Amino acid sequence: MSAVSSEKPFVALAIAVLTISDTRTFADDRSGNTLVERLEGAGHRLAARAIVPDDVEEIRAQVAHWIADPAVDVVITTGGTGFTGRDVTPEAVEPLFEKRMEGFSTIFHLISFQKIGTSTLQSRATAGVANSTYIFCLPGSPGACRDGWDGILAQQLDINHRPCNFVEILPRLDEHLKRGKLRTSA
């Protein structure tokens, strides 16, 4: 079972939050606000925040911009993971992935199932790695953002989570390029 130790100093990550919606503004973006509150509450830093419409090219352009920025460690999107005609986040983001994180969707659905039952099937939550940046795509509800953060990301984005976590391997994501993005004291 997993645990948290305090062996290493906390590493604050730079996290960008993207809300995908045709109707939301910063004033009423409850899902984006949920993610920002949680990541800052955990000690991480909001690197950037944006809202884009449900449009493949606009979503992909914003995520591509952030993964090209060496100052961004993680991108979290909210919205556009359903099945309606305007839900295009996976189609926009997955082509950017160098490696897909298959287990993220599975764990997200296990957590979500405990709260909303079989309605979790209506989400195509996804995650992957691109240009040494973690990308997590969550559904567009505050509850789904809480589930994704509290149930997965809070632990995996904490260097002291055991037996392993995403922070420890962040410097190695681009080892094939012989340069490390984030150096931690290990």
107-121 average pLDDT score? 96
Given a cut of 70, is residue 182 above it in pLDDT?
Answer: no
Given a cut of 70, is residue 183 above it in pLDDT?
Answer: no
8-17 average pLDDT score? 95
Report the alpha-carbon distance of residue 47 to residue 54 in Å, rounded: 22
Given a cut of 70, is residue 66 above it in pLDDT?
Answer: yes
Higher pLDDT, 113 or 178: 113
Confidence (pLDDT) at 174: 81
Query: Using one digit for the tens of pLDDT, what is the confidence trace for 35-48?
Result: 999 999 999 999 99
93-103 average pLDDT score? 97
Return the closest-CA partner of residue 75 out of 124, 13, 156: 13
152-160 average pLDDT score? 96
Domain-by-domain residue ranges, the chain? 12-173
Given a cut of 60, is residue 109 above it in pLDDT?
Answer: yes
pTM for this prediction = 0.92
Helix (H) or strand (E) holding 102: helix 102-116
Decide yes or no: CATH 3.30.70.100 for domain 12-173: no
Q: Classify strands 99-100 and 74-78 as parallel, antiparallel or unpaired.
A: unpaired
Confidence (pLDDT) at 104: 97
Given a cut of 70, is residue 179 above it in pLDDT?
Answer: no
Of how many residues is the chain composed? 186
Confidence (pLDDT) at 177: 64
Could you list the beta-strand ranges (E) of 25-125. Answer: 45-52, 74-78, 99-100
